[in-house]
Amino acid sequence: MTVLDDIVAGVREDLARRESALPLPELRARLSDVAPALDPLPALAAPGSSVIAEVKRRSPSKGHLADIPDPVALASAYAAGGAAAISVLTEERRFGGSLADLAAVRAAVDLPLLRKDFTVTDYQVVEARAWGADLVLLIVAALDDDTLRRLHDLARELGMRVLVEVHDEAETERAIALGATLVGVNARNLKTLAVDADVFGRLAPLVPTDRVLVAESGVGGVADVERYVAEGARAVLVGETLVKDGDPTAAVRAMSGLVAAGGAPR
């Protein structure tokens, strides 16, 4: 069993408990009270690098990262630094996140929010919107084609954008065939947790220029953002570096608005 398989198995167990407590019809009923989703695409597609700043307490690869007793304070610091969107991890077992974090940030920050989780069922997509998310993450490696398309279409029907995450050439082809507008290239292999900083540069040329490329993992500072931008990224998703930084506002600001030398190649 890979690391990804193990994470998804735990996600399904936790999901079963939530679904038992709040069945899908009741969850859907809550959507009528939720404000329309915000569209992150204009900011993510704008000239210069955009930052999706993440509220992230821990990870399977690095363990404990930060306590984050007040996710609202961290999200507000990101917003002050010019983040284009905020990612809130809601997976509990490996990342220490929760839907409560998502709800708290939604109530306090008016930026688009990404629910960062291992989404494998319709229930989770509806759940994301019901708790105020504007984007959902779909990891191609965790889904077959039929499920990937169904969840993608459902998210779009609910007004959300979808960040479709890929790790290799075959997954990139599947994302393009899906019609993904936001394609996230993750330098971390979720089956082994190894990071390969060259993955983004290898996969970026496979993505049509009318799609928005997001670089995920391997962002340790401004130099990494500059490299990703030079290779075609319009946005970077950053978690560990920001939660460990003593001044997340300044860190986000420094990573934002960067352009490739001579102009962006995409």
The tokens describing 250, both together, are: 């300044």
Residues 86, 114: Cα–Cα separation, whole Å? 6
Pairing mode, strands 63-64 and 212-216: unpaired
- Residues tagged active-site: 54, 56, 116, 165, 186, 216-217
Strands 161-166 and 135-139: parallel
Say which amino acid occupies 138: L
Output DSSP code: residue 188.
B
Nearest 5°: CA angle at 112, between 106 and 116? 80
- 40 CB contacts (<8 Å, ≥6 apart)? 84, 85, 112, 114, 134, 135, 161
CA pair distance 109, 20, nearest whole angstrom: 30
Widest distance between CA atoms in the chain? 55
- What is the spatial distance between Cα 243 and Cα 123, in angstroms, rounded to a whole number? 29
CA angle, 151 then 156 then 160, to 5°: 105
